[in-house]
Structure 1
Amino acid sequence: MKTQATRRLIVVALTTTAIGFSVPAFAAEADEQQAAQTAEATDSGDTGAIIVTARRRSETLQSTPVAITAVNTAMLESKAAVNIGDLQGAAPGLLITQQNSGAQAANISIRGLTYADIEKSQTPTVGVVVDGVTIGTNTGQLQDAFDVAQIEVLRGPQGTLFGANTIGGVINITRSKPTMEPGAKAEFSYGRWNTMSLKAIANYGDGDTWGVKAFYFHNETDGFYRNVTRNTNAGWSVGNTVGGSLLFKPAGSGFDAQLTVEHVSQKFDPVVSNLTNSTEVFCGFIPERECNRNNTTDLYTTFGDYAESTYNAPDATLEMNYDLGGVKLTSITGWRHSKEAQTQDFDGSSTDLYYVDRRQHYTQWSQELRAAGNLFDGFDYVVGGYFFSSKYDLTQWSRVFGFDSSTPPTKFDTAAQHVEGKTKSYAFFGDFNWAFAPGFRLSFGGRFSHDNKKLSNGFADGVLLDPDNLDLSKIALVGKGDASFNKFTPKVGIDWRPTPDLMVYASWSRGYRSGGFSPRAATAATASTPFQPETVDAYEVGVKLAAFDRKLELNVAGFVSDYKDMQQNLTVPGGPTGNQTITGNVPGGALIKGIEVDGTVRVTENFKLTGSIAVMDSHFRNFVTCGAYAGGAVATNDCGTGLVPFDYSKNRLIYAPDFTASLSAEYTLPTSFGDVSANVGWRHISPYDEQLSAASLTPTLNGDGEATRITVEGNDPRVRTTTQDLVDAALTFNFDFDNTKAYVRVFGRNLLNEKTTTHAFTVAGLWSFGMALEPRTYGATLGVKF
């Protein structure tokens, strides 16, 4: 049995807010909206082309000088996709995995740039933008795939057009607008593990001036894990989204306004699988069968105590546009709020070792104003300003070595952690295109960003905090910080169109992610010392080709990303345990290089092939931090007494697979009642790591046998996925009945039954855990439109 002092030591080391976890454009679902956009391109001779708006202009995919891949939304619907996570592997360089330590939380990586953390003190590396509003945290990013007009994934920094959180890229989601005509769409799906979904949209309006849209989505499942301790399914979830949208377009005014309000609620089981092995402390306290398990087939058998997460998140968006003829003005106002309460058995074993209760609130406001138009013939622009404000609070109670699950953490932990943070940001941006010579165009722009971050961090002073009536006077402040960061990030590119069907381009851009403060700091000095911004210099060259009357479309892009002042968790001296984990900067950074290819072949009018390939090479440069070494360290060095430099330069970047590929085939057979459509897809993802960790250590010793430097020999193999070959298939029967359309779809996902992790973590030599990829599943969908 551990002593009270030992338990306190581990609490301080781990509390730190949940242990420190550390495209493609999709064609419009609404046929009317896509037809309208296509009509806008008619004058340029690009009729029938996919239109994208991620650069805040309506332009064809093949004429956009950035890396975007186009895939029809039928790909998502054909697999009965629940959220945007099913985009993973379908577009070059894109990974999206679920992180169940937070509601609607996603680990998103584009070209090896990611931020795999649910804490709200830092901003995501990849910006998810919904109807023009940037989601400021990883929680909430895993958006529903139903009622989507278009999804555009831009790879690489996009700071001249979006919020500051776009160092890795942008996933730009536009939902369908009210049609302004009476109509409805509804579908019901049922699949393996008693998985059910009901989704409905209803439209009404006068056909000209106003329209309203109401929507409701419901998803539930029993979960694909089996908890043998409690003899029940695990990983269950229930989610509901309800909302409405009002569109107002006075005829002949050039003005339109759309207000959308919605409320998302979720309740789910944040299950984890036990990956602890015999080298870790917790293995000495849990049954033998629960140690040394593999990170593939064993993931689906769990042992943990009951846990539950609830999430309530209302939001509202108001977009207004005013077309003055020569210039179009746009205003987008966004508000999002969330309330979360989550218990979680992080050790994943049948022994009560580390169980937490997290309560938090988050609110963000954003306002964007921009103007777009043509300054003169051949010169167009987008200029604007952006404001973002957010605040959050988190209180975490931890039950460490409680050995009694009947006592809730709120009645156990007299040193509960409390964190409060605030962010205020503003930016001014401009993006310009100048056709300076026949066939040539210069693209350039820049963004000035200002970010202010505040954070306070403390622990209850030996008393129990009441979660329903939190008394902040009982919290002993560790420290607080207040800092501002300013950065100008430019972009320049050139493209050449020797023919209407061929474009060659090159660009350079700089991405930026703000600095901030560490919620895991354990001393006043580290709590008040900010980590600095990180930047990426992104170089890209590409070719876009459309041939044989657009029967073949092929895009090739090569890129180099120079990652500087990378933000990583570092171990430094100080605090009750002698060392602490904070966020710091790695000056050496990383270098990422790659080649991406994607294309479409329309073999016949009814048969289409779509494929992609991405090859990427990435490595750290001079990634040296400080850590404690059990074998002893030199008495004095740059790290401080008892600590020694750790060199992680041999480790792989996380969520950065060396090779991904995809191939899908779609065939439609016309029939007397409508048509039958068959869709088969294959996605290949090579192994990638999910956490910076240590497989083994090689010390460099001085003459006294003391360690002067430790070389880390790669990441722990338990945090590495297996090779994934994900095969999905669907068969859809579409029926036409006058003004009504109905469809029946049977589908299967992950037909080869690949089993691996979607997230895995090792915790300071104490224990390890992971989350599992959904195994083979299948089901059917019944839908109707009118």
Structure 2
Amino acid sequence: MRILRGTSLLALSLGVMGAGSAFAQTSEDSTKTSTVGLADIIVTAQKRAMPLQDVPVAVTAFTGEAMRASNLDALTGLRGLVPGMTISRSGAALNTPQISLRGISLQDPNRAVESGIGFTIDGIPLAFQRGTLLDAFDIERLEVLRGPQGLLFGRNTTGGTLNVIRSRPDPDAAATGKLRATVGSFGRTDFEGVIMAPIIPGLLAVKGAIAIKKHDGEFRNSITGGREGKRDMRDYMLSLVATPSDRTSIYLSLERMEDDSEVPPYVPLMTPDLIPLTGPKLLTPNGLGTLGYPTYVSGQNMQCLNPATSIVCRPLSKKRNDVETTQFPAYYNLNAVTLEVAHELDGVKLVSLSGYREDKEDQIGDFDATRFAIQRNDKRESSWQFSQELRAETQFDGPINFVTGAFYIEYAFTARQFPSVDLAGLSPVTPPGTSFFNSLNAYRIRQKSRSFALFFQGDWDITDKLRVTAGARQTWDRKQTNFTLWGRIQQPFRDQFVLGPQQGPVSASVKFDELTPRIGLQYDVKPDLLVYANWSRGYNAGGFNGRAGSIVNAVIPYRPEIMDAYEIGFKSEWFNRRVRLNVAAFHNTLKDKQEDVLTVVPGGALVTATVNAAKARYKGVEAELAVVPVAGWTITGSAGYLDAKYLSFIGNLAGQGLADLKDLKLRRTPKWTAGAISDYTFDLGAGRAGLNAAVYHTSRYETSVLNDPRGSIPPVTKVDLAMRYEFPVHDSLRMTLTGFVKNVTNNTIYDGFTSSNTAGSFIDFAIPSVGRTWGVSLAADF
């Protein structure tokens, strides 16, 4: 089998690695240590605190200490360090990631489309992943669970789950704090601070946290000479922990985020090869190439040509992170509340977990990505969610233990979108603001979802070495949509448009339900060697299209997608815990696969729509290795091999009629992912120095569902370097000075690509990636 041939390549890649991921860094506060060896990391991947090596599923865990040592200041730093995972920032929404795990991904950030990658913060599952490109400063632990997690983490986890645990104050501990200031390239100025202290020792403690992140823009505007993609984000958190008795604890967290950054700018990649120069011309008011109006001509280095003068407007820059569009300001505001109450009985822990989040977002997208004001999209959105989980966890001494409970979530969003096309900016004779197109529609969509689930997972120790795990989750979903469409009429100036005839509102609702069981076996060959096998089912909810384009398409639902997943693996430690090797192999089948594609809908409008169009298979092998050669030096690495393919795919993706598309490559499914970090610490003078080097590699993958060659991301290897020096100021204060360079080789491969896939369209752009950056930070721990 191919998967077995891939195993030998995987072993070879691990054998030549000189560094590894930070998840296995030693720690003084671990629960189990040796003189020179790897520390345990305690995870909650099974809704109970367990050592990572005892959890019979594929999990990569990072401690906050290890992330800071490797200068992983945001989740995008995990790229290449988790096998089978790609992560980049979305070009269509502020502070929002695009994540792929084992080939499951979502490119469309529209709130109506639910991701197959779950995201949980302090136990609260997020219905929307806006604002989740988190900074790592206040993260105590990050767990990346790979494969369906439908039993304990619920629906929308067919690819896996990111489980973020933030630090909490302790009423029994002394006051502590950490502050960090960072300056760097592009005018970067960051400040982060966390202070925790008991208010009533033994009874009540408080934590206050703040993060302020700013820079002037990571991309150069080749027209104005200025900077684009500016950042201006502020995040405030306040939390309380009360322990009214030895058996009861109460955790309350409040968060406020204000993000006035700019979304990453786009690079135009319009390809008029589909439009003969002797025929209708793109970017002209009547399609005839009228004198005085520029058009675009084909070529590798595409140019803007004014046919009136035969003068080239400007060749595209050869620098991939140069842009020509001027970004519009945007904002994203978030309020979040989390309340957890836990009470321990004899052998049973009862947990109530409540969460509420609300956000607002406003941004303008420049879809033509040129210096001309051709097309923009004004988008205003708001959403809220409420969730409640009641859970019982047993802690019996006997052979049977279980986790059981009930979960409810309700969430809704409203989105208003006002697209406009204005070609007069290209003409030297027509007043700016005159519109030549009136074919775009404005719309408002409101959707509301409710989901209720019951779950149970039990573990039975048949012998002292053999354990059986079994359980199931039953989920009931209901979704409602309300859609209103306005036609656009001729407008004299851009900001004086008049809404055309109203269509709708139209409403519809749909119900789904699904049983997601799991069964597994684990066998302890010896204390440091665990082998396991699992079968599980994942469930990704259905719904209604968020960009319907017509009132007919707005009320047509798409169905859920179902994942059947098989996984075998082992977890091991060797040589007195100096070496840790974990390996997993998987074979997953996804039925009724939801595809977010650009397509023509009834009425002739071109929109992004979600349809059940395919069946796909994913199989692969993943390995994680950690080594401590000598005290102070930790080398860890990971690699993943993925073989993903469509089993069937019949669809109409570009308005050209139904076609058999199963030979296309699945998006964001690189065959190889690998990463490594080497962290070496040693005594130097009165303090301790550290050297950190990270390298990660991702093989070629596609970002376009139609495999447009412009959206093919070539193989990329990036290197990060950091040096730090930690020194005491007095007994209770330690300072750490860190210097770092990210993307040392200045690799600026695109992060993503969007195309309308339609002749004559100018919605063809790439999302540039950030080049080399540097910085210096000073941190204080007390």
The answer for the alignment partner of 2:521 in structure 1 is 494
Counterpart in 2 of 1:69? 60
Determine the structure 2 residue equivalent to 1:150.
141
Distance change (3 Å), C-alpha of 1:574 and 1:225: closer
2:273 to 274, 279, 285: 279
Aligned equivalent of 1:110, options 101, 107, 111: 101
Seen in structure 2, the aligned counterparts of structure 1 residues 578 and 755 have a Cα distance that, compared at 3 Å, is: closer
Which of 619, 634, 648 lines up with 2:661 in the alignment?
A: 648
Within the alignment, does 1:165 sit opposite 2:156 as a pair?
yes
Distance in 1, matches of 2:282 and 2:326, equals 17
Equivalence for 1:7: none
Of 722, 744, 769, the residue aligned with 1:773 is 769
Task: Choose from 774, 777, 782 the match for 2:778.
Answer: 782
Q: 2:679 aligns with which of 647, 650, 666?
A: 666
**Partner residue, 1:335:** 356
Cα offset, 1:537, TM superposition: 0.6
Q: How far does residue 228 in structure 1 lie from its aligned partner after superposition?
A: 2.2
CA distance in 2, matches of 1:648, 1:608: 46
For residues 125 and 612 of structure 2, the distance between their equivalents in structure 1, rounded to whole angstroms, comes to 25
Matches within 5 A, 1:568-607: 568-569=595-596, 575-577=602-604, 582-586=609-613, 588-607=614-633
Counterparts in 2 of 1:296-335, with a 5 A limit? 298-335=319-356
Question: What TM-score does the superposition give when structure 1 sets the normalisation length?
Answer: 0.86
Shift of 1:401: 2.9
Counterpart-to-counterpart distance in 1, 2:710 and 2:90:
17
Aligned residue number for residue 346 of structure 1: 367
Partner AA of 1:733 in structure 2: Y
Is 1:416 the counterpart of 2:442? The answer is yes
Q: Please tell me whether residue 93 in structure 1 is matched to residue 84 in structure 2.
A: yes
**1:680 match:** 693
Which amino acid in 1 is paired with 2:337?
A
Are the aligned partners of 2:219 and 2:770 in contact in 1 as well (CA < 8 Å)? no
Question: Hey, what's the Cα distance between the residues in 1 that align with 2:703 and 2:402?
Answer: 40
Question: C-alpha distance in 1, partners of 2:404/2:526?
Answer: 30
**In the TM superposition, what is the alpha-carbon distance from 1:415 to its structure 2 partner?**
4.0
The residue number in structure 2 matching 1:134 is: 125
Tell me what 1:747 maps to: 740
Q: Is residue 546 of structure 1 aligned with residue 573 of structure 2? A: yes
Bigger shift: 144-153 or 204-213?
204-213
Could you say which residue in structure 2 is the equivalent of 1:125? 116
Paired with 2:296 and 2:608, the residues of 1 have a C-alpha distance of 31
Partner SS, residue 602 of structure 2: coil
1:454 alignment partner in structure 2: 480
Instruction: Give the letter for the 2:775 counterpart.
Output: G
Contact 2:38 2:579 in 1 (8 A): no
Structure 1 residues 416-467: Cα deviation after superposition (integer angstroms, max 9, x where no partner): 21111111111111111111123101011111111111112221256899xx
1:138 Cα deviation from its structure 2 partner: 2.8
Q: State the partner residue of 1:705.
A: none
Deviation at 1:287, TM superposition (A): 6.7
How far apart, CA to CA, are the structure 1 residues paired with 2:76 and 2:38? Answer: 31
Partner letter of residue 92 of structure 1? P
CA contact (8 A) 2:62 2:141 kept: no
Is 2:222–2:317's contact at 8 Å kept on the other side of the alignment?
no
Residue matched to 1:387: 408
| 1: CA distance, partners of 2:129 / 2:39 | 36
Name the structure 2 match of 1:4.
none
Give the deviation of 1:571 after TM superposition. Answer: 7.7
Check if 1:398 corresponds to 2:419.
yes
- Go from structure 1 to structure 2 and tell me whether the alpha carbon gap of 1:464 and 1:209 turns closer, same or farther (over 3 Å shift): farther
Report the Cα distance in structure 1 between the residues aligned to 2:299 and 2:385, rounded to whole angstroms.
Answer: 42
Counterpart in the other structure of 1:6: none
Question: In structure 2, what is the Cα distance between the partners aligned to 1:324 and 1:24?
Answer: 39
Which residues of structure 2 form unaligned runs of 5+?
A: 1-19, 276-280, 285-293, 303-315, 427-431
Question: How far apart, CA to CA, are the structure 1 residues paired with 2:25 and 2:45?
Answer: 14
Q: Give, in whole Å, the separation in 2 of the partners of 1:255 and 1:408.
A: 67
Answer whether contact 1:296 1:755 (CA < 8 A) is retained.
no
**CA contact under 8 A between 2:62 and 2:143: conserved in structure 1?**
no
The 1:576–1:296 alpha-carbon spacing in structure 2 relative to 1, beyond 3 Å, is: same
Q: Residue 456 of structure 2 aligns with which residue?
A: 430
Q: For the residues of structure 2 that align with 1:738 and 1:412, how far apart are their CA atoms? A: 70
**1:734 equivalent among 722, 726, 731:** 726
Please give the per-residue CA displacement for 1:266-317, whole angstroms capped at 9, x wherever unaligned.
1122211112123266865667699745999543221224412111111111
Residues 380, 432 of structure 1: 8 Å contact kept: yes
- Partner Cα separation in structure 2 for residue 473 and residue 404 of structure 1: 23
User: What is the CA-CA distance between 1:73 and the residue it aligns to?
Assistant: 3.6
1:573–1:752 CA distance, 2 compared to 1 (3 A): closer
Structure 1 residue 670, shift from structure 2 partner = 1.7
- Deviation of 1:379 after TM superposition, in Å, equals 1.3
Q: In 2, Cα distance between the equivalents of 1:506 and 1:514?
A: 26
Distance 2:601 2:699 in 1: 40
Query: Given the alignment of the two structures, is residue 526 of structure 1 paired with residue 539 of structure 2, yes or no?
Result: no
In the TM superposition, residue 226 of structure 1 has moved relative to its aligned partner by 1.3
Aligned residue type for 1:654? R
SS in 2 for 1:279: helix
Distance 1:615 1:531 in 2: 31
| TM superposition shift of 1:521 | 2.9
Equivalence for 1:182? 175
1:402, CA displacement in angstroms?
4.5
Q: Give the letter for the 2:612 counterpart.
A: N
Which of 609, 624, 636 aligns to 2:635? It is: 609
Letter in 2 for 1:717: P
Please give the root-mean-square deviation of Cα atoms over the aligned residues, in Å: 3.1
Q: CA deviation at 1:412?
A: 9.3
Aligned partners of 1:573 and 1:234: how far apart in 2?
33
Report the Cα distance in structure 1 between the residues aligned to 2:698 and 2:683, rounded to whole angstroms. 34
Work out the CA distance in 1 between the residues paired with 2:662 and 2:716: 26
Q: State the 1:527 CA deviation.
A: 2.5
Q: CA deviation at 1:724?
A: 1.2
Please give the alpha-carbon distance, in whole angstroms, between the structure 1 residues aligned to 2:499 and 2:123.
36
Say if 1:240 and 1:522 are closer, same or farther in 2 by CA, change over 3 A: closer
CA distance in 1, matches of 2:605, 2:622: 46
Q: Secondary structure at the match of 2:504?
A: strand
Superposed CA offset, 1:115-144 (max 9, x none): 111111121111110001111123122122
CA distance in structure 2 between the partners assigned to 1:157 and 1:551 by the alignment: 31
Aligned equivalents of 2:211, 2:156: Cα separation in 1? 29
Does the aligned pair in 2 maintain the 1:418–1:475 contact within 8 Å? no
Contact 2:448 2:479 (C-alpha < 8 Å) held by counterparts:
yes
Report deviation, 1:644.
Answer: 2.8
Task: State how far apart, in whole Å, the 1-side matches of 2:25 and 2:251 are.
Answer: 18
2:254 match = 261
Q: Which of structures 1 and 2 has the larger relative contact order (alpha carbons within 8 angstroms, sep 6+)?
A: 2
Indicate if the aligned counterparts of 1:227 and 1:302 stay in contact, CA closer than 8 A.
Answer: yes
CA distance change for structure 1 residues 389 and 402 in 2, over 3 Å: closer, same or farther?
farther
1:413, 1:644 → 2: CA distance? 22
Q: Secondary structure, in 3 states, of the residue corresponding to 1:299?
A: coil
The structural deviation recorded for 1:525 is 4.2
Q: What do residues 585-642 of structure 1 show as CA deviations (whole Å, max 9, x unaligned)?
A: 12x411111000111011011111101111111111121112567xxxxxxxxxxxxx
Q: TM-score normalized by structure 2?
A: 0.86
* Residues 276 and 293, structure 1, Cα contact 8 Å, conserved in 2: no
Q: Whole-Å Cα distance in 2 between the matches of residues 76 and 682 of structure 1?
A: 15
